[in-house]
Chain A
Amino acid sequence: MGIVEGLFVLLFLLVGIFFNSLGVVSLYRFPDVYTRMHGATKCSTFGSLFTGLAVIVYTLFRYLSAGESRFLVLAIHTFVAMAVLLVTNATGAHAIARAAHRSRIDPKFAVVDRLAEKEGRRRRAA
């Protein structure tokens, strides 16, 4: 029991650490705010999800071996926290992207920008 649990926890934690680190690296590596957002949002959400998954595996193994419902409660709360994180991170990134574009921060090296085209037409018409 101990070995299996440890292996699963180690695997999930390593994946989580790997993706969270990539999210931080992408903050420095990409040229502008939109591409940074790709790295930071996706990788840190995914990394935190896997960290939560490690905690869930640990608590469920504890629940199965010890039978204390305290661990089940911990697992349920971790699951809720993960769901909240999944929804809020994606929506928050969307809000920042929209705000950045509305405050005229252009995507660097962009080959096409349909949103600016649409707003340009609207500005000329008004």
Chain B
Amino acid sequence: MFIFFASFLMYLLLVWSGGTIAPVEFAVAFLLATILALAARTWVPSYRFSFLKILNPLRWISFLYYVFVPFGIALFKANIDVAIRVITGNIRPGIVKLTPDLKSDLSRMILADSITLTPGTLTVDVDDEGAFYVHWIYVRDENPSEEEIYGSFASWARRLAD
């Protein structure tokens, strides 16, 4: 259901060219969205979104807040950090393990992408139990705490999508 509405609105957003949208575009959008939703259901049958959860506007607002404020700041810091490391060549790499304990796939994806784009860290693998293996460009501690790697991102991912 979520996939249907998302692709429907996306299609309309992409065909909108200033004026009104022709009625035939609605028909095409409906057709394509139906095909996509059915295909997604066939490929990944366990993939279910709770309809009420997704339509909750508070969730969307907090998602936008997350993308622009904590994530944006971390992205900025990450790039300054990597820029300094590229110029000075000061690295001490290693792969560390973290167990943030997230249940749903979507929240794991949000956290993995956030880790990849934040200071000095890159997700290498996520196993079935939800343990994250993170490549860290400057290992300060071989058994790091969660705050050291990604700050408050795990609680954000849990609030957004778990």
Contacts and interface: CB of A to CB of B under 8 A. Distances in A.
Interface of A: 19, 22, 25-26, 29-32, 34-35, 37-39, 41-43, 45-46, 68-70, 72-73, 76-77, 80, 86-87, 90-91, 93-94, 97-98, 101, 107-116, 118
Nearest to B13: A76
Given A93-B116, A94-B123, A34 B93 contact: yes
B81 to A, nearest CB: 9
B141 to A, nearest CB: 10
Interface in B39-85: 75, 78-79, 82-83, 85
17 contacts: A19-B83, A22-B87, A30-B91, A35-B93, A37-B122, A38-B137, A41-B116, A42-B116, A69-B19, A70-B17, A73-B18, A76-B16, A94-B116, A107-B93, A112-B139, A115-B95, A115-B124
State which size class the interface on B falls in.
35 or more
Contact of B82 (A42, A70, A107): A42
A113 B91 contact: no
Contacts of A73: 16-18
A108 B19 CA distance: 57
A21 to B, nearest CB: 10
Main secondary structure of the interface of A (DSSP, over half): helix
B123 A97 contact: yes
Interface in B81-116: 82-83, 85-87, 89, 91-97, 109, 112-113, 116
